Amino acid sequence: MKTPSDPRHKLRETKLKSLYAYSVSSKQKLSNISKIVSHLPAIDDHIGQAAPEWPVLQINKIDLAILRLSVYELLFDSSIPYKVTIDEAVELAKTYGSESSPAFVNGVLGTILKTKNK
């Protein structure tokens, strides 16, 4: 059972915080998120297609950081089961996002997963 002290959860939190800082200032050190940042154009394109009513630059920065981390895991890191990725993303959205963040994140990731599986 996953706990808040799970090392994998802590690592995701660290990456989330780094991605958030990167979205505020691109001068952020990229050591733990360099692979994610290298795929940002493709990641942002998938987010934009899954949430066309929300242009990527208008998405709340913390929600965007959660989505970027999760979309990277869904599309470029096959070692993580998609159910784990989505569950972790929703949990991070509950912790760091607004009241509507968990549903938004879940919806976007669900749409991307359906598109990926076609």
Class of residue 64 by CB neighbours under 10 A (exposed 0-12, middle 13-18, buried 19+) = buried
Q: What is the pLDDT of residues 95-109, one digit of tens each?
A: 999 999 999 999 999
For residues 115 and 118, give the distance between their C-alpha atoms in angstroms, rounded to a whole number. Answer: 5
Q: Is the pLDDT of residue 1 over 50?
A: no
Q: Is the pLDDT of residue 28 over 90?
A: no
Q: Model-level pTM?
A: 0.92
Q: What is the pLDDT of residues 37-76, one digit of tens each?
A: 999 999 999 999 999 999 998 999 999 999 999 999 999 9
H or E, element range at 115: helix 101-117
Q: Are the C-beta atoms of residues 68 and 45 closer than 8 Å to each other?
A: no
Mean pLDDT across the chain? 91
Q: What residue ranges define each of the domains in the chain, with the CATH number in brackets?
A: 40-118 (1.10.940.10)
Q: Which of 22, 54, 55, 59 is closest to 38 using CA atoms?
A: 22
Q: Are the C-beta atoms of residues 105 and 85 closer than 8 Å to each other?
A: no
